[in-house]
Amino acid sequence: MSALFDGFWALLGLKVLVSLLVILNVALVIIFAELKISAHMQSRVGPYFAGGRYGWAQPIADGIKFIQKEDLVPRDADRPVFKLAPMVVLAGTVAVFVIVPFSPTLVVRNLDLGVFYALAAGSIATVGVLMAGWSSANKYSLMGGLRAAAQLIAYELPLVLAVVGVVIHAGTLSMSGIVEAQAEPFFHLGETAIHLPYLFQGQVIGFGIFFIAMLAELSRTPFDMPIAESELVMGYLTEYSGIRFTMFFLGEYAGMFAMSAIASSLFLGGYYFPGLDSATFGPIVLMAKVGLLVFVMIWFRWTFPRFREDQLQSFAWRWMVPLSLVNIAVTATFKVVF
Amino acid sequence: MTAVDRHRLSMHHSEVQVSVELQTPDMTLNLGPQHPSTHGVLRLIARVDGEVIEEVEPVIGYMHRGYEKIAEVRTYPQITALVNRIDWVSGFANEIPFMVATERLMGLDVPERAQYIRLILTEMARISSHLVFLSSFPLELGAATPLMHALRERERVLDLIEGVTGGRFHPNFNRVGGVKPAAGAGSTQKKVIQDLPIEFLEQSRQAMQYVRDVCDDLKDLVVGNEIFMERTKGIGIIPVDKALAFGVSGPNLRASGVPFDIRKTDDYLPYSNFEFDVATGENGDCFDRYTVRLEEVIQASRIIDQAIDSIPSGELQAKVPRIFKVPQGEIYVRAENPKGEMGYYIVSEGGRGPYRLKIRSASFSNLSVLPWLLQGQLVPDVIAILGSLDFVLGDVDR
Amino acid sequence: MTPRTMPGSGLAKGLWLTLRTLFSKTATIHYPLEKEVPVARARGVIALDADACTVCMLCARDCPDWCIYIEGHKEMQPPAKEGGRPRSRATLDRFDIDYALCMYCGICVEVCPFDALFWSPDYEYSETSITSLLHDQERLGAWLETVPDPPALES
Amino acid sequence: MTANPSELAERVAGVVGSDRFSSDNGTAKVRVDSDHWLEAHQTLGAEMPYFSWLSAIDWATEVAVGDPPESEDVESRYEILSCLGNVETGELVVLSTDIAKDDPSIASLTDVFGGANWHEREAAEMMGIDFVGHPNLTHLYLPDAFEGHPLRKTFPLLSRDVKPWPGTVDVEPMPDEEGPSTENPEDAG
C-alpha cells in the first residue's frame, strides 16, 4: 500500500480526484448562482425550498433527479459515439484545469506551452458536441452540432489571436509565467510600485475579443445557437437524458469555470492581487476573479437575445479576426518600441 | 421561380458555383406540433436546404374544437361562454363583436355605462394580450428576461379584469344588452348587480402607470438592443398588397404601414369619444410588428385613462328577457381585437341559438400568409417571423 | 426612426435594467406559505344551498357542458294550515357538479331563480384522480361558508 | 366612419353588375350569380383589396342538429359568402352566391386573393364544396381519413347523442301548476 501511495500513479490519482471534486463542486455552485441570479433579474426568487434555506441544495437535488432518470438511447443512434460524446465534453473541459495556476505552487502541471495546451484542450469539448449532434439521429441535434462546429471554427481563431497579445507581453507561453509577469510592477509612481493586470496594460481589446470568443466557445447567450431551445428544441442535447444529460450540463458549467480561470490568469492577473500573499490567498483571489467573469456571463445570458448563425459568422470574420490582428500588431509595436 | 432559384439569384456568382457543387438532397424538417416555439400545436412541414427553407406547409387543426358547429346547438348566452375561449389571451375582447352583433339583430340599445365598462375591459384585454406578445417574442430570440418583466405587470391587469368579471382569462361578463346583470331573481344579498368593484378605477389608473413603466423597460431591454434589431430588422417583410390579399389585419397590417384600425372606422364601442393614435410601422418587418404593439399598449392605457375619467353612471343592462329569441336576420360585426379583425357573421332564423355562426378570427388569416412569407428564410428567422405574427392556436383553429 | 446612438448603448441599457432588477424586490408570492387572496368575485368553485333548491333543473338544462347532475323526487308534506290540502314538495336526492367538465361560465349560478347556487373564490380542490372532481351535494354545500359577502361597488 | 351601408351595397352592386343587394342590420350584402363569382371578385378586388373571409351556409329545411329555419320556404342550397373590404375607407361588403346542393362547386378565388386558399379549404372540408381551380383542396383541420362534412346540417353532433340531455331526467310536474318543461329547447327551438 505505502509503495502505491508513494508512487507517481497514486499522486496522479489523488490529484485527479481532488481536481474533479473541486471542479464539479464549483460547477454546482455556478449552476446555483445562475438559478438564483437569473431569478432575481426577473423579479423571481428561484429555488427556495430545497435544502431548507434559499434552496441551496437545488443543483444537488436536480443531479439526483437526473441520475434516477432512464438513460435513453435513440434506436437509430450511433450508440458508441452517442454514449461517448458526453464523456468527451466533460473530459475535454476538465483537462483544461491541468494548467490553471491557483497559486504559485498549486498547479497540476505547469507546462511550458500552457496557453497552447489550454486552447487545444478547450476545443475538445466542441468535438464532443459535434459527436453528440451527429450520433443522435435527430435533425435538430444534427443542426445543433453543425452550428457548434461552425461556431468553433469561427471563434477559435480570434480566441487564439487575442491571447497572442498577452503572450507577446509576457514573453512566455506558461500560464504561471504569464501570471508572474503580471505580478511584476508595471511602473513606479514615486515610491509605490503600481501593479496592473494585462487588461489594464493595453489589452482591453484583447480581453474583449477573448471574452466574446469565450462566450461563443461555451455556447452562452448571445451565442447559444447550438442549443437555441426556441429553434432547435435543445440542439445537440435533444436526445440526451439522465446521467448523460447531466454530464453535458456539468460540462457546460465546468467549462465556464475553466474558461473564466484562463481568462483571469491571462488578463486579470490570475491568483495575484497587490498586497495579498499569493501563496495563501492565491486560490481565493483567483476564484473571486472567476466569480466576477461568471457573473458577467450569467448577466449577459439573462439580458440579451441570441444572434443568428450567419450573423455570428460575419461578426467573427469581419470584426473579431481583423481586430485581434490589429491588437497583435499594436501590442508588438509597443513591445518593440518600449 | 422556386425559392431555391430566388435564393440563388440573390447570391454572388462564386457562391452559386459552390452551392451547385455541394448540391445535397433536401431535408424535411418537422417543426411541431410539439416544438417550443409553435405556441401550442402548430406544425410546419418545412423542406430545408441546410438552414434555408425552400417550402413550408403549415398544418393546423390540432386544436380544432368545432365552435361553429357547437354554436348551432347552443343558445346565445351559452355561446358567450364559448367565444372567450377562441383567443384565450384576450378572452374579453372576443365577446364584444358577438354581443354587438346579437344586440343589433335584436335592436337593443346598450346603456352607456355598460359600453364604457366593455371598452375599458377590452383595452385591458388588449394590454394583457400585447404584453404576452411583447414578452414572449424576445423569448423566441433567446432573451428570457423580458418575459418575466412584462408578465409581472400583466398580472396587475389580469387582477383588475378578474376583480370585475370573476375570471382572469375567460370573463364571460358580457350579456346580451349590457354587462353581467343581477344574477337570478332571488333576494339574497350575495348576488348583487355586478357593477365595478370599489376602487377599481383608482387601481386601474395605477396599473396603467405600471404598464407604461414596463413599456419603457421593454424599450430599454428589447427595442434598443442591437442584437434584437439585428435579428428583426428587415426580417419577414409583409408588403401591403400581400397583407391585404391574405386578410392580414391588426398590428401585423399596421406594421406594414396601413393605418387601418377598426376602432376608428366602425362604431361597435364608443371609441370616438376618446383620443388615441393608430400606431403604424414603416417596413412591415418583425421589428415594426414589435414596436407597433408596444405603442398600442401605451395608446390603450391612454384610452383607459380617459375612459376612467369620463365613465358615466347609470344602468348596466337593457331590458332583455331571461329566455329570448333573436329575430330573423343576418349580420356581420367585426371588432379590432388585439390580434386583428375578429368578426362574427350570425345567421339567425329566429331561434334561441343562431342558425349558422361564422367566426372570422384574426390569427387564422394572419397565419395563412406563412407559406408565402417563409419561403427562402432561414430556420432561426422562421422562429422570429412566427413569433412576430402573434397568433394563438385557439384563434386559428377555433 | 430612432436617432443614431452609440453602438452598444442599447446593450448597456439592458444590462443596467437587469442589474437594477437583481437588487430590487421580487414579485413572487410563496404560494403554499403565503396565499394571494382571490378577489371576491373570482369564480373558484360553486357552492350549493340545498335547502333553497327546488329541483327545477334550470341550471342543469342551461349548462353548456351538461356537467350538473340532478335527481329529485316529490314528497307530500302535511298541510300548512289545518284542514288545508297536503302540499307536495320537490326534494333533492342528488346534486353533483363534475368539475372535470365544468368550464366555469357561471350560467347555472345566474339562472338559478331561488338563489341556491353561489360562486366562491376558493380554488384549492385539485385532485389526483379525475373522478374525485365530481363534487356531490354535501361537498358543494360545504363550500357555502367560503362564499364572501357582497363587496362594495364603484358607482 | 363607415359609409352608409345601403349606399355602399348599391354602389358595389353596380360595380359587380348585380341588382340584388341588401343592407339589413347595417351589413352591406350583394348577391351575385355563381357563374360570375370569380369575375365579381376580380372586378371588386381593385376597389376592395382587403380579403376578410370566405364561408358557406347550408340552407336546409331538415336539420340533424340545432333549430331548423323559421321560414318554411327556405330553398335548399349552399350559400357561399365572402367578405371584402377597403382599409382606407373602412368599407366592408359581403358578396354572396347560391350553389345547388347536387352540384356544390364554384370557382376558386385563390388566384385573386391568396388568403382565400385556407378559407376555401375550410369551407371545402366543412361543407363539402368543390372549389374549382384550387391548388390544394385537402383537409385543413380534420384528419385526412375523416369522412363527412361536419358543418352540413345533416351531420349529427355526436356529443349530443351519446349523453342524455340532463333536462330529461326531471321531477314530475307539481299538481295544480305547470312544472318545469321537460322539453329540450335545443330540439324544439
Quote the DSSP letter at residue D142. Answer: S
Which residue range forms the structural domain that includes residue D117?
A: 5-156
For residue A218, the Cα-to-chain-centroid distance in whole angstroms is 7
Task: Locate the chain A residue with the closest alpha carbon to C24.
Answer: A43
Burial class (CB in 10 A: 0-12, 13-18, 19+), D50: buried
Classify C73 in phi/psi space as left (phi over 0), alpha (psi -120 to 50) or beta. beta
Which residue of chain C is at minimal alpha-carbon distance from D180? C56
DSSP states of D84-96 as a string? EE-TTT--EEEEE
Query: Do B341 and D160 lie within an 8 Å CB cutoff?
Result: no
Rounded to the nearest angstrom, the minimum Cα separation between C18 and chain A is 5
> Would strands B340-348 and B356-360 be described as parallel, antiparallel, or unpaired?
antiparallel
3-class SS of residue C47: strand
Cβ–Cβ gap D142/B241 under 8 Å: no
D173 touches chain C (CB under 8 A): no
DSSP 3-state assignment of B194? coil
Does ipTM come in above 0.90? no
Residue A70 and residue D13: Cα distance in Å, rounded? 69
Interchain CB distance below 8 Å, D185 and C61: yes
Q: In this complex, do A48 and C15 lie within 8 Å of one another by their Cβ atoms?
A: no
Distance, in Å, from the CA atom of A184 to the CA atom of B260, rounded to the nearest integer, reads 69
**pLDDT computed for residue A309 by the predictor:** 78
Which residue reads 396565499 in cell numbers? C35
Residue D123: which CATH number? 3.30.460.80
Query: Does C17 contact B221 at a Cβ distance shorter than 8 Å?
Result: yes
Residue of A nearest to B153 (CA): A43
What are chain C's partners, defined as 3 or more CB pairs within 8 angstroms? A, B, D
Exposed/middle/buried for D85, CB within 10 Å: 0-12, 13-18, 19+? buried
User: CB contacts < 8 Å between B and C, how many?
Assistant: 128
SS3 for C92-109 is EEEEEEECCCCCCCCHHH
Q: Which residue of B has its CA nearest to A38?
A: B145
With contact defined as beta carbons under 8 Å apart, do A37 and A295 qualify? Answer: yes
B264:D160 CB<8 A:
no
Q: What is the pLDDT of residue B183?
A: 45
- Mutation site for C-interface testing, chosen from D157, D171, D177 by largest number of C Cβ within 10 Å: D171
**Extended beta strands in chain A, E state:** 187-189, 192-194
**Chain B residues touching C119 at Cβ < 8 A:** 166
- To the nearest whole Å, the CA of D73 is away from the closest chain C CA by 31
Distance from CA of D163 to the nearest CA of C (A): 9
Nearest chain D CA: its distance from C52 CA (Å): 16
| Closest residue in B to D55 (Cα–Cα) | B358
Q: Identify residue B245 by its one-letter amino acid code.
A: A
Shortest CA gap A49–chain C (Å): 10
Is residue D44 domain-resident?
yes
What is the spatial distance between Cα D69 and Cα D111, in angstroms, rounded to a whole number? Answer: 35
Per-residue pLDDT at C153: 61
Q: Within a domain: residue D137?
A: yes
| Selection from B241, B196, B217 nearest residue B153 by Cα | B217
Strand segments (E) across C33-86: 45-48, 68-77
CB B156 within 8 A of CB B207: yes
Q: Cα dihedral sign for D14, D17, D20, D22?
A: negative
Q: Using an 8 Å Cβ cutoff, are B289 and B279 in contact? A: no
Of B68, B104, B247, the CB nearest to D51: B247
pLDDT for B13: 46
**Cα–Cα nearest to B217, from A43, A242, D108:** A43
Query: Chain B: residue nearest A142 by CA?
Result: B50
A/D Cβ contact: 3+ pairs below 8 Å: no
All residues of chain B having their beta carbon less than 8 Å from the beta carbon of residue A309 are 51, 378, 380
D136-167 pLDDT, tens digit each: 888 888 888 888 888 888 887 777 667 766 65
Q: Do A228 and B144 touch (CB under 8 A)?
A: no
Contact between A317 and A150 under an 8 Å Cβ cutoff? The reply is no
Residue B343 at interface with chain D, using a CB cutoff of 8 Å: yes
Helix (H) or strand (E) holding D29: strand D29-31
D41, D19 in Cβ contact below 8 A?
A: no
Contact assessment for residue D127 and residue D56, using Cβ atoms and an 8 Å cutoff: yes
* DSSP assignments along A251-270, one per residue: HHHHHHHHHHHHHHHHHS-T
Q: Distance of CA B364 to CAs B391, B392, B393, Å?
A: 8, 9, 8
Q: What is the DSSP string of A44-111?
A: -----STTSSTTTTHHHHHHHHHHHS-----TTS-HHHHHHHHHHHHHHHHHHGGG--SSSS--S---
The distance of Cα A165 from the centroid of its chain, to the nearest Å, equals: 20
Please provide residue B63's backbone torsions phi and psi, each rounded to the nearest 5 degrees: -120, 25
- Provide, as residue numbers in chain B, all residues whose Cβ is less than 8 Å from the Cβ of A41: 145
Q: Do B225 and C147 touch (CB under 8 A)?
A: no
Q: What is the torsion angle, in degrees rounded to the nearest 10, for the CA atoms of residue C33, residue C39, residue C43 and residue C46?
A: 80
Segment (H or E) for B53: strand B52-59
Which has the closest alpha carbon to B306: B214, B212, B208, B210? B208
Q: Does D94 touch chain B (CB under 8 A)?
A: yes
From chain C, the residues in CB contact with B77 under 8 A are: 62, 107
> What Å distances lie between residue B210 and B149, B154, B220, B279, CA to CA?
11, 9, 15, 20
B162 interface with C at CB cutoff 8 Å: yes
Per-run averaged pLDDT (10 residues), chain A, 338 residues: 64 80 85 88 84 82 86 83 87 82 74 81 82 84 83 84 83 80 71 70 81 85 74 79 85 86 84 75 83 89 83 84 86 78
CB-based contact B364 D141, cutoff 8 Å: no
C-alpha span between C73 and C57 (Å, rounded): 12
pLDDT at residue B22, as a whole number:
55
CA dist., res. B171 & res. B158, Å (int): 10
Of D163, D172, D180, the CB nearest to C66: D163
Buried b / exposed e over A161-184, threshold 16 CB at 10 Å, is bbbbbbbbbbebbbbbbbbbbbbe
pLDDT of residue D175: 44
Q: Which regions of chain C are under pLDDT 70?
A: 1-7, 78-86, 150-155
CA distances to B21, B62, B130, B258, B339 from B395, rounded to whole Å, are 45, 12, 15, 23, 9
- Residues 178 through 217 of chain B touching chain C, CB cutoff 8 Å: 180, 183-201, 217
Closest CB to B355: pick one of D67, D142, D185.
D67
In a domain, D186, yes or no: no
Contact flag C41-B197 (C-beta cutoff 8 Å) = yes
Please tell us whether the domain made up of B67-397 is placed in CATH 3.40.50.12780: no
Using a CB–CB cutoff of 8 Å, tell me whether D167 touches chain C: yes
What is the Cα gyration radius of chain A?
A: 21
Residues of chain B with pLDDT under 50: 1, 8-9, 11-20, 183-191
What pLDDT score does A4 carry?
52
| Any domain includes D109 | yes
CATH topology of domain C45-146: Alpha-Beta Plaits (3.30.70)
Query: What residues in B contact D50, CB-CB < 8 Å?
Result: 244, 247, 249, 260
pLDDT (0 to 100) of residue A125 = 81
Interface test with D, best of B45, B73, B106 (most D CBs within 10 A): B73
Is the pTM higher than 0.90? The answer reads: no
- Nearest by CB to residue A45, choosing from C15, C22, C26, is C26
* Residue C60, min C-alpha distance to chain B (Å): 13
Task: Tell me if C109 and B164 make a contact (CB, 8 A cut-off).
Answer: no
Q: What is the pLDDT of residues A234-274, one digit of tens each?
A: 778 888 888 888 888 888 888 888 888 888 888 887 777 77
B370 vs B376: CA distance, rounded Å: 12
| Contacts by residues A282-289 (CB-CB < 8 Å, ≥ 24 positions apart) | A282/A101, A282/A102, A282/A103, A282/A104, A282/A106, A283/A102, A283/A103, A283/A106, A286/A100, A286/A101, A286/A102, A286/A103, A286/A261, A287/A26, A289/A260, A289/A264
Q: Interface of chain C against chain D, CB under 8 Å?
A: 55-58, 60-61, 63, 66, 68-74, 88, 90
Nearest-CA distance D39 → chain B (Å):
16
Which sign, positive or negative, has the C-alpha torsion B320, B324, B326, B332? positive
Question: Which residues on B lie below 8 Å from D51 (Cβ)?
Answer: 244-247, 365
Residues of chain B with CATH 1.10.645.10: 67-397
Could you tell me which chain C residue has the CA closest to the CA of D183? C61
Per the CB < 8 A criterion, the answer to whether A227 and A237 are in contact is: yes
Residues, chain D, total?
Answer: 189
- Fill in the amino acid letter for B98: F
CA–CA separation, D68 and C48 (whole Å): 37
| Residues contacting residue D48 through CB under 8 Å, at least 6 positions apart | D12, D84, D85, D86, D91, D93
Helix/strand/coil percent split, chain A, to 5: 70, 0, 30
Those residues of chain D that have pLDDT short of 70 are: 1-3, 66, 72, 160-161, 164-189
- Asked if C60's CB is within 8 angstroms of D174's CB, the reply is no
At residue B241, the pLDDT reads 86
Burial string for D106-143 (b: 16+ CB within 10 Å, else e) reads bbbbbebbbbbbbbbbbbbbbbbbebeebeebebbbbe
Contact A41 C27 (CB under 8 A): no
Q: Which three cell numbers stand for residue B40?
A: 401550442
Chain B: give the shortest CA distance to residue D52, in Å: 5
What are the backbone dihedrals phi and psi of residue D80, each rounded to the nearest 5 degrees, phi first? -100, 130
- For C24, other C-beta atoms within 10 Å of its C-beta total 11
